[in-house]
Amino acid sequence: MKTYLSILLIMLNFSVVNAQISSKKFNPETNLIEWPKQFNPEKSDFYVYNEIEINTAPDVVWKLLIEASDWSKWYNNIQNIQFENPQQRNLSAQAKVFWKSMGQELNNTVTQFEPNKALAWQFDEPKIQGYHAWLIIPTENGCKVVTVESQTGRLARLQKVFLPNKLRKQHDEWLVKLKEQAENPTKGLSMILQIPNNHLRKTVE
């Protein structure tokens, strides 16, 4: 029984490795994002790219992405999520939402909201500004989810020097947790599929 379980975990690990890609380099030839001018990755201070294959329908993934008030149930790198409208729980077009990420309090505005296709928000703080976009691309077995972030400002420049991989790894984790939640929403199976991050990532340098 232990042997079969080990083989199953190896197979699961192998499939996730082949499904996830991350990079800290911008490729304009494959870019699918309509970047605001100030966040063009060719000129910005910091950029990360992550993608993953998810074996479920785009609308399932979309629902998980916009339910920001419930992110903490399956992803813990964003804290203190609060909407400007206290009655609001989900992201929507032009919604304003506040949260803490990587030690920074961020005031976010949703700037792109295309159900089941594209989502983006922008934040503008004195020391750091950023644009975080998501794409959901249908595939034969479900969808590919791409998440990219471009940043400017003093903290972005410091991050590039002293913490060049932290944000990329956090987005790796976000995508893995999103995949687990979308494909296996029951808690028991989700726990089985939690594999350390250093075994999950194929990095494009």
Domain boundaries along the sequence of the chain: 22-192
How many Å apart are CA 161 and CA 147, to the nearest integer?
Answer: 22
pLDDT band for position 2 (50/70/90)? Answer: very low
Q: What would the pLDDT profile of 13-40 be if each residue is shown by its tens digit?
A: 444 444 588 887 899 999 999 999 999 9
CA geometry: angle 24, 64, 144, nearest 5 deg = 45
**What pLDDT was estimated at residue 20?**
83
Residue 47 has pLDDT above 90, yes or no: yes
104 CB neighbour count, 10 Å cutoff: 13
Q: Where are the beta strands (DSSP E) in the chain?
A: 20-23, 46-54, 78-83, 96-101, 104-114, 118-124, 129-139, 142-152, 202-204
How many Å apart are CA 100 and CA 90, to the nearest integer?
Answer: 17
Q: Mean of the per-residue pLDDT values for the chain?
A: 87
CA geometry: angle 19, 156, 158, nearest 5 deg = 110
Q: Which class is 22-192 in CATH?
A: alpha beta
Question: What mean pLDDT do residues 42-47 have?
Answer: 96
76 CB neighbour count, 10 Å cutoff: 10
8 Å CB contact between 159 and 151: yes
Q: Which two tokens stand for residue 191?
A: 């726990």
**What pLDDT was estimated at residue 40?**
97
**What pLDDT was estimated at residue 125?**
97
Stated pTM of the model: 0.82
